Amino acid sequence: MNIVEEIYKGTAEACPKLDGKTSKIIFRNVDEIVAFHTAFLVQLKDAVAAVYIPQGRRSSAPKEASIKSNSTGSNSGAQSQTESDDAKDRTTTLGPLFQLNAEKMKIAHEGFLRNSDLAAKRLIQIQQDPTVQVWLNECHEVAKDLTAAWDLDSLLIKPMQRLTKYPNLILTILQHTPPDHPDRPALVAAKDTLEIAIIEINKTKKNFELVGQIVGRKRDKHAYPRGPRVRETAREVW
C-alpha cells in the first residue's frame, strides 16, 4: 500500500482531471492503512527481537560452532545453543499484540472498504479520460519493479487480501508453536478475534452498500414520479 500512497496518491495532484473529491473517493483512508501496518510491523519485530534475525544479518558463527563441535565429537555446545534459543523463544509474545491491534485494524479497514464499490465505479469512470490514462501509465511504469500488481485496481484490493491473511499467518505460527508455549493460548484467541473482525467488516460493508441502494432507489423515485404525480407535474410544465 506504500505504492498506492506514495506513487499514485502522491502524484494525483499532477493529473488535472483528478480533483480533490475524486482523489478522496478513490484513495479513501489509505494513509491510515499504511500507518497502521507500518507501526504494527515494528511492534511484531520488537516482540520477536530475541529470536528473530533479519535475512542478510545472519552470522556464520552457529555454523562454524557446529562444525567445530562435530570435529571434536561433542554435541554439548549445539545442545546448549538449542536450549538457549528455546528459552528465548518462550519470552516472545505475538498473541497479545494481535489482540491489542485487532480493533485498530478493524476500524482502519472498515473505513477503507466501506466505500470500495463507489471507489471502483469512480475509477472506471475517470479511466475514460486520456489524461488519466497517461497518469496511470506513468505511475505503473514507476511501480512495476516494486509490485506484481498490474494496475491501480489490483492494488486497491490488497488491504482486504492482507487482512484475511492474518488468521492464516497465526495458524502457521501455531503449527510451529509447542503446546506448552506461554504464547499459544493468546495466539489461538487472537486468531478467533481476527476472524470475527473480518466477518464484522464484511457485514458493515454489505450494510453500507444496502443503505446506498435504498437511498439510490428513493432518489430515482423522486426524480421520476409516477401515477397522479406524473399528471400533476405534466400540468405544471404544460
Residue 181 pLDDT > 90: yes
More confident residue, 131 or 63: 131
Mean pLDDT of 83-107: 88
Q: From the centroid of its chain, how far is CA 188?
A: 21
- The better pLDDT of the pair 56, 232 is held by 56
CA–CA separation, 123 and 23 (whole Å) = 10
| 95 and 190 Cβ atoms separated by less than 8 Å | yes
Lookup: cell for 105: 485494524
When pLDDT is cut at 50, 70 and 90, the band that residue 158 belongs to is confident
* pLDDT of residue 232 exceeding 60: no
- The per-residue pLDDT for range 59-89, each reduced to its tens digit, is 554 545 454 445 555 555 555 666 667 888 8
Residue 32 pLDDT: 93
Lowest mean pLDDT among 50-54, 128-132, 165-169, 180-184: 50-54
Give the DSSP per-residue string, 138-205: HHHHHHTTT-S--SHHHHHTHHHHHHHHHHHHHHHHHHTS-TT-TTHHHHHHHHHHHHHHHHHHHHHH
Residue 132 pLDDT: 94
Q: So what's the pLDDT on residue 204?
A: 78
What is the pLDDT at residue 83? 60
User: Chain-wide mean pLDDT for the chain?
Assistant: 80
pLDDT score, position 89: 87
- pLDDT digit string (tens) for 10-60? 999 989 888 999 999 999 999 999 999 999 999 999 999 888 777 655 555
